[in-house]
Structure 1
Amino acid sequence: MDTGGEWLLGGADALFKAGKFEQAGRAYEEMLKKDPKNLHAVRQRGYVSLLGNKFSEAEKYLTTALDLAPADKRTNRFLADCYTRQDKFALAAPCWKAAGEEAYAKQFAAFRGTPYQIHGDVARVPWQETDPFPLVEASVNGGPPKKFSFYTRIGGLGVSAKVAKEAGLNAVAKQKIEAFGDVIWLYYGVLESFKLGGIELRNIPVGWSEPESGREIAPEAHDGMIGTWIFYHFLSTFDYAGRSLILRRRTPETAARAGVKPLPLWLAGEHLLHTEGSVAGSGTGVVALNIGGTGEQVAGISAETAKRLGVRVDHDRPFASFAGGQPVVAYPCYPKEVRLGDATARDAYCYAGGKSTLGDEGFYKLADFAHAFHKPYNITLDFTGMNVYIARGRAT
Structure 2
Amino acid sequence: MADDGGWDRRSLLRGAAVVAGAAATTPLLGKAATAQGRGSDADALFKAGKFEQAGRAYEEILKTDPKNLHAARRRGYVGLLSNQFPVAEKYLKMALQLDPADRDTNYYLADCYIRQDKFPLSAPHWQAIGEEAYAKWFAAVRGEAYQIHGDIAQMPFLQMDPMPLVEASVNGGPPKRFTFYTGAPNLGMRASVAKEAGLSPVSSQKIDFENGAVWAHYGILDSFKLGGIELRNVPVGWSSTESGEDVDTDSDGMIGTWVFYHLLTTFDYAGRSLILRRRTAEMARKARAAAIQAGAKPLPLWLAREQYVHSTGSIAGSGSRVVGVNLGGRGESAAVLRGETAERLRIRTDYDRPIGTFAQSHPAVTYPCYPTEIRLGEAVAKEVYCETHPNGALDPFGFDVPGAFFHCFHKPYNITLDFTDMHLYIARGKMQQ
State the TM-score, normalizing by the size of structure 1. 0.96
Structure 2 counterparts to residues 221-240 of structure 1, below 5 A:
221-240=250-269
Structure 2 counterparts to residues 104-143 of structure 1, below 5 A:
104-143=134-173
Structure 2 counterparts to residues 52-91 of structure 1, below 5 A:
52-91=82-121
1:311 aligns with 2:359: no
1:340-390 superposed Cα distances (whole Å, 9 cap, x missing partner) = 010000000000113354333111102110000000000000000000000
One-letter amino acid matched to 2:292 = A
One-letter amino acid matched to 1:290 = N
**Residue ranges of structure 2 left out of the alignment (5+ in a row):** 1-34
Question: Where do 4+ consecutive residues of structure 1 move more than 6 Å?
Answer: 213-216
- Kindly report the root-mean-square deviation, in angstroms, between the aligned alpha carbons of the 2 structures: 1.3
Q: Which residue of 2 aligns with 1:251?
A: 280
CA distance in 1, matches of 2:142, 2:332: 42
One-letter amino acid matched to 2:75 = R
Pick aligned residue for 1:241 from 245, 270, 290: 270
Q: Which residue of 1 aligns with 2:26?
A: none
Question: How far 1:252 moved relative to its partner?
Answer: 2.8
Pick aligned residue for 1:287 from 311, 317, 323: 323
Question: How far 1:26 moved relative to its partner?
Answer: 0.8
One-letter amino acid matched to 2:361 = G
Could you tell me whether the CA contact under 8 Å between 1:287 and 1:369 is conserved in 2?
yes
1:311-335 superposed Cα distances (whole Å, 9 cap, x missing partner) = 0000111111122222210010000
CA distance in 2, matches of 1:139, 1:215: 21
Could you tell me whether the CA contact under 8 Å between 1:238 and 1:244 is conserved in 2?
yes
CA distance in 2, matches of 1:180, 1:55: 36
Q: Aligned with 2:240: secondary structure?
A: strand
Q: Aligned with 1:95: secondary structure?
A: helix
Pick aligned residue for 1:94 from 106, 112, 124: 124
1:297 aligns with 2:333: yes
One-letter amino acid matched to 2:373 = E
One-letter amino acid matched to 2:149 = H
Q: Which residue of 2 aligns with 1:36?
A: 66
Question: How far 1:92 moved relative to its partner?
Answer: 1.2
1:49-71 superposed Cα distances (whole Å, 9 cap, x missing partner) = 00000001111111111111111
CA distance in 1, matches of 2:113, 2:252: 29
Could you tell me whether the CA contact under 8 Å between 2:413 and 2:430 is conserved in 1?
yes
1:262-315 superposed Cα distances (whole Å, 9 cap, x missing partner) = 110000011111110100001010101000000010001024110100000001
Deviates more, 1:222-231 or 1:62-71: 62-71
> With CA pairs under 8 Å and 6+ residues apart, which has the higher RCO, 1 or 2?
2
Could you tell me whether the CA contact under 8 Å between 2:192 and 2:245 is conserved in 1?
no
Q: Aligned with 1:286: secondary structure?
A: strand
Could you tell me whether the CA contact under 8 Å between 1:90 and 1:109 is conserved in 2?
yes
Q: Which residue of 1 aligns with 2:402?
A: 366
One-letter amino acid matched to 2:90 = K
Pick aligned residue for 1:24 from 42, 54, 57: 54
CA distance in 2, matches of 1:87, 1:302: 32
CA distance in 2, matches of 1:234, 1:17: 30
Could you tell me whether the CA contact under 8 Å between 1:297 and 1:350 is conserved in 2?
yes
Pick aligned residue for 1:320 from 356, 373, 384: 356
One-letter amino acid matched to 1:376 = P
CA distance in 1, matches of 2:36, 2:149: 51
Q: Which residue of 2 aligns with 1:186?
A: 216
Question: How far 1:102 moved relative to its partner?
Answer: 1.3
CA distance in 1, matches of 2:396, 2:135: 21
Could you tell me whether the CA contact under 8 Å between 1:73 and 1:100 is conserved in 2?
no
State the TM-score, normalizing by the size of structure 2. 0.88
**Residue ranges of structure 1 left out of the alignment (5+ in a row):** none
One-letter amino acid matched to 2:321 = G
Q: Which residue of 2 aligns with 1:341?
A: 377
CA distance in 2, matches of 1:258, 1:15: 30
CA distance in 2, matches of 1:332, 1:174: 38
CA distance in 2, matches of 1:60, 1:330: 41
Deviates more, 1:98-107 or 1:333-342: 98-107
CA distance in 1, matches of 2:196, 2:68: 51
